[in-house]
Amino acid sequence: MKDVPDYMGPMAMGLKMGVIVPGMDIVDEVFDSVERCYEDGLLDDGDVICITESVVARAQDNYVTVDEVSKEIRDKLGLKKNGTIGVVFPITSRNRFSMILRSISEAVSDGKVIVQMSFPSDEVGNQTISPEFVENLNKEVITMDDIELSQCQHPITEVNYIEYYNEIIEEAGAEPQIVLCNDPHHIVEYEPDAVIASDIHTRHETKETICKKFDNCITLCELFNEGRSCSEWGLLGSNMSSAGRLKLAPKNGDKVVKKIQERIKDELKVQTEVLIYGDGAYKDPTSGIYELADPSVTVASTDGLHHFRRGVKYKYLADQYYHKEGKDADEIEDIIQEKKENDRSESAMEKEGTTPREMTDLLGSLADLVSGSADAGTPVVLVKNFLE
């Protein structure tokens, strides 16, 4: 990178792009953006090109309608319009789950939808009911007869999700029943015809638990995981779109990142790594909300990123060689550089406290923070000096 002093460390820069619409070639669009960086001397071997999943999926026209989702649910679960379906552990989110619930409800528009929510919060930390109220109530199963709806308002968004989800089901014509219980088995007591385990990171455990007593259960990953519009995550990772549609996560992400990497190498003679990222994996310390509403931070990445990020414990070594051995700053710097270059076991004191983390998790989270939830008009993030 030209005109950047060697004392500069890792950096991430958002690249502004025009609007991406269905039918565009995302490989072309990303390459054009990266080529501008190359022409300005901003692209080097070892850089990482991070692309937000939303523009990849949009370019792929990877959408499904509410009607299509409803039909898929009926077909996969053998449901009739007057059937009863259980929905276990959905997150409370207008963007992530409201249209999925609408689709579920329309699948049984003459029947019943039983929503079993976890409490006092969903799996990513969104409050479903006041923890103080729950503590005083001291019940393992909480029904609508037990609570005041004023106790169910989200402290950040101020949305009452119990009331909101109830309205979605009613608007579809189905009969709603919402219950709070942290035991997945409890849904079976309502004798549903089918169950959808709707949680994200614990979906396999939830389905396995339910299936010990009830067979007709699937996860959201098993809906739209094949076909023209699909994703390896199915409906998980989807977002509310417009005109009654859901945007799925990208499909064939591994092929996309490989094509971008190969084109940069072939045409610009620069060896980069490429990843497609979704939500960053961090927990907001103020709200307590775990931002990762996708099954994974990274949708796809090139092979050079499939490893942990490790390193020596810089501050430990600085203290050790200064206080115990009386080394000066220059001597300590030379020692640390030498230790960086030598391969050491993960249990060595020099690496104490340097928790190994997936490179893709770190890079995807960094890129998500740079682009922001509104994408900031920078759906591509160039990360430099991170892989050293």
Does position 348 have pLDDT exceeding 50, yes or no?
A: no
Average pLDDT over residues 344-351: 44
| Angle, alpha carbons 173-174-178 (nearest 5°) | 135
Of the candidates 388, 320, 328, the one whose C-alpha atom is nearest the C-alpha of residue 348 is 320
- How far is Cα of residue 348 from the mean position of the Cα atoms in its chain? 33
Instruction: Decide which of 374 and 134 is more confident.
Output: 134
pLDDT at position 357 over 90: no
pLDDT value of position 347: 41
- Band (153; pLDDT cuts 50, 70, 90): confident
For position 151, what pLDDT does the model report? Answer: 83
Sequence-ordered alpha helix ranges (H) in the chain:
26-39, 53-59, 66-77, 98-107, 131-137, 161-171, 203-211, 253-268, 314-319, 329-341, 359-371
Distance CA 37, CA 130 (A): 50
Say what the pLDDT of residue 107 is: 98
**Spatial distance between the Cα atoms of 141 and 118, rounded to a whole number of angstroms:** 10
Task: Inform me whether the pLDDT recorded for 154 exceeds 70.
Answer: yes
3 state SS of 181: strand
Residue 29 has pLDDT above 80, yes or no: yes
Q: What is the pLDDT of residue 328?
A: 74
What is the model's pTM?
Answer: 0.86
Kindly list the domain boundaries of the chain, sorted by start residue: 11-61+249-308+358-384, 63-247, 314-351
Q: What is the pLDDT of residue 318?
A: 66
Residue scoring higher pLDDT (314 or 337): 337
212 pLDDT exceeds 70? yes
Least confident of 26-30, 73-77, 149-153, 211-215: 149-153
pLDDT higher than 50, residue 270: yes
pLDDT at 54 over 90: yes
* pLDDT for position 245: 95
Q: Give the model's pLDDT for residue 353.
A: 46
Average pLDDT over residues 115-139: 93
Contact partners, residue 210, CB within 8 Å, separation at least 6: 88, 184, 185, 187, 188, 195, 197, 217
CATH 3.40.50.620 applies to domain 63-247: yes
Give the mean model confidence (pLDDT) for residues 168-188: 97
The mean pLDDT value for 324-337 works out to 70
pLDDT of res. 373: 61
pLDDT of residue 229: 94
Q: What is the pLDDT of residue 377?
A: 84
**C-alpha distances in Å from residue 104, one per residue of 128, 168, 178, 222:** 20, 10, 14, 14
The three-state secondary structure class of 79 is: coil
Please give the pLDDT value at position 351: 44
The superfamily (CATH) of domain 11-61+249-308+358-384 is CofE-like (3.30.1330.100)
Radius of gyration of the chain (CA): 24
* In the predicted structure, residue 375 carries a pLDDT above the cut 70: no
Q: What is the pLDDT of residues 290-304, one digit of tens each?
A: 889 999 999 999 999
Average pLDDT, the chain: 89
Cα–Cα distance for residue pair 381/388, rounded to 1 Å: 18
Quick check: do 11-61+249-308+358-384 and 63-247 share a fold? no
Does 120 sit behind a cis peptide bond, omega within 30 degrees of 0 on the bond before it?
Answer: yes
- How far from each other are the two terminal CA atoms of the chain, in whole angstroms? 15
Residue 243, token pair as written in the block = 């005109």
pLDDT at 175 over 50: yes
- The pLDDT-based confidence of 352 (bands split at 50, 70, 90) is very low
Question: What average pLDDT score do residues 42-64 get?
Answer: 96
pLDDT higher than 60, residue 346: no
Predicted local distance difference test score (pLDDT) of residue 331: 73
pLDDT digits (tens, 9 = 90+) for 217-241: 999 999 999 999 999 999 999 999 9
Q: How confident is the model at residue 311, as a pLDDT?
A: 56
